[in-house]
Amino acid sequence: MSDLAALTAATAHLPAPLVALDLPAARANAADLVRRAAGTPVRVASKSVRCRYVLDLALGTPGFAGVMAYSVREAIWLARTGVRPLLLGYPSADRDAIAELGADPALVEAITLMVDGAEQLELIRSATDAPVRVCLDIDASLRIGRLHLGARRSPLRTPADAAGLATVAAGLGLRVVGVMFYEAQIAGLPDSSPAVRLVKARSAAELSRRRGTVVSAVQDAIGGALELVNSGGTGSLEISSADQCVTEVTAGSGLYTPALFDHYRAFEPRPALYFALPVVRRPAPGIATLFGGGYIASGPSGRSRLPSLATSGLKLIGTEGAGEVQTPVRGRAAAGLRVGDRVWFRHAKAGELLERFDTVHVIDGDRLVDSVPTYRGEGSTFG
């Protein structure tokens, strides 16, 4: 955990609510992601970052290579600032953005679109006749009978599925350059119990066997080698990079290490991104009310999606939680809080917090060394 007193001292002259980045922690996290990838290049997941300063920090760390974008418009925006190469993590139905990409040969070479069905290929072709690069998203979930463990992403699962779509894509003049496997049931689950660890191990073994056969089938279908085989996430870098057919892994959340990553055993959580809320009233001796704070993470609703108190001795009130405009907190530390004091939190997820703020204040020790814009602060939001 960062030194909250130092963060407070460095930002005391700034109005709150505010976001602070612990720069040494972020740099250490970037280096640790590279270490865990064990020589496999790491692609930055921009959805978990949403700040070009931090993207540049990661890409300036030896071992990182490229960005996984979450929107075609975002990828175009980044490409025009010099970011290369860009892989879309998700399919898109944005015909206008795809047409813009196809009209610029430099963008065609810089950006790879993600697909998992013939309808998406037809949509791309309806927007542009350029030889667009595409990557096939392969279902990486674990299936045990009717039980499905993992994200509901792609309908492509078998070598035949993948080879069939690759053949259709090639027939439409699109370039199949890669395949992606995102094993959410490994990367996105904390190692909270022996049962979870067992499921993760079983899933990793099944995927390793299937991934190689899918890659071979796609390469046979297109008559050549793939440029990229992408896999992994912050929670599964060691597992994904150990597979010899994987050419790159993806990570983003690990740069900030949000609260959902606190219980992983594969790495030591090193929180780097915080937000501070000011105390604005004292409705009772043991309660302090803060301004703002309702920054709820996406995913299944529940306590795990609420922001986490970084300031010790405080907790959210169960009947109110983190509010749209005000957040009451209680606990042994509440009695010592006065109007104008600050309380520090961490978001449950990573980049989503920055959709709420236009600036990140960069802190090194107890010094403010920079104040940089988020995507929102640059006037850009991509969904």
Q: What per-residue confidence (pLDDT) applies to 350?
A: 94
SS3 at position 305:
helix
CB atoms within 10 A of CB 69: 27
Q: What per-residue confidence (pLDDT) applies to 196?
A: 65
Q: Are 67 and 110 in contact (CB under 8 A)?
A: no
pLDDT digits (tens, 9 = 90+) for 277-315: 999 999 999 999 999 999 999 988 889 999 999 999 999
Query: Which one has a higher pLDDT value, 199 or 331?
Result: 331
pLDDT at 323 > cutoff 90: yes
Q: Are 238 and 200 in contact (CB under 8 A)?
A: no
Whether 316 maps to a domain, the answer reads no
Q: What per-residue confidence (pLDDT) applies to 192?
A: 63
Q: Would you place residue 190 in the very low, low, confident or very high pLDDT band (cuts 50, 70, 90)?
A: low
Report residue 82 as tokens. 């010099």
| CATH code, 136 | 3.20.20.10
- Phi first, then psi: what are they for 213, rounded to 5°? -70, -35
Domain range enclosing 211: 24-252
Q: What per-residue confidence (pLDDT) applies to 186?
A: 66
CA-wise closest residue to 67 among 176, 226, 266, 228: 228
Whether 182 maps to a domain, the answer reads yes
CB atoms within 10 A of CB 318: 8
DSSP state of 31: H
* Cβ-based burial of 296 (10 A; exposed 0-12, middle 13-18, buried ≥19): middle
Number of domains observed in the structure of the chain: 1
Whether 353 maps to a domain, the answer reads no
CB atoms within 10 A of CB 13: 7
Residue type, 45: A
Q: Are 162 and 218 in contact (CB under 8 A)?
A: yes
Q: What per-residue confidence (pLDDT) applies to 73?
A: 98
Q: What is the mean pLDDT of residues 115-132?
A: 98
Q: What is the mean pLDDT of residues 140-166?
A: 83
β-strand pairing of 142-144 with 147-149? antiparallel
pTM: 0.94
pLDDT at 232 > cutoff 90: no
Q: What per-residue confidence (pLDDT) applies to 204?
A: 73
Least confident of 13-17, 23-27, 171-175, 229-233: 229-233
Q: Distance between CA 294 and CA 179 in Å, rounded?
A: 37
Q: Are 276 and 344 in contact (CB under 8 A)?
A: yes
Report residue 10 as tokens. 């460095």
Q: Distance between CA 221 and CA 212 in Å, rounded?
A: 14
Query: Which one has a higher pLDDT value, 299 or 367?
Result: 367
Whether 14 maps to a domain, the answer reads no
pLDDT at 214 > cutoff 70: yes
pLDDT digits (tens, 9 = 90+) for 234-258: 988 998 999 999 999 999 999 999 9
Q: How open is the CA angle 253-258-259, to the nearest 5 degrees?
A: 140
Q: Distance between CA 42 and CA 130 in Å, rounded?
A: 28
β-strand pairing of 326-330 with 315-316? antiparallel
% of the chain exceeding 70 in pLDDT: 94
Whether 204 maps to a domain, the answer reads yes
Q: Distance between CA 329 and CA 9 in Å, rounded?
A: 22
Q: Would you place residue 154 in the very low, low, confident or very high pLDDT band (cuts 50, 70, 90)?
A: confident
Query: Which one has a higher pLDDT value, 210 or 40?
Result: 40
Exposure string (b/e) for 145-172, b if CB count within 10 Å is 16 or more?
A: eeeebbeebbebeebebbbbbbebbeeb
Q: Are 239 and 288 in contact (CB under 8 A)?
A: no
Three-class SS of 55-96? HHHHHCCECEEEEEECCHHHHHHHHCCCCCCEEECCCCCCHH
SS3 at position 115:
strand
Q: What is the mean pLDDT of residues 120-136?
A: 98
Please state, rounded to an integer, the average pLDDT across all residues of the chain.
93
Q: Are 253 and 45 in contact (CB under 8 A)?
A: yes
pLDDT at 200 > cutoff 80: no
Whether 105 maps to a domain, the answer reads yes
CA-wise closest residue to 351 among 46, 74, 20: 46
Whether 98 maps to a domain, the answer reads yes
Whether 16 maps to a domain, the answer reads no
pLDDT at 164 > cutoff 70: yes
Q: Would you place residue 263 in the very low, low, confident or very high pLDDT band (cuts 50, 70, 90)?
A: confident
pLDDT at 94 > cutoff 90: yes
pLDDT at 120 > cutoff 70: yes
CB atoms within 10 A of CB 201: 12
Query: Which one has a higher pLDDT value, 151 or 21?
Result: 21
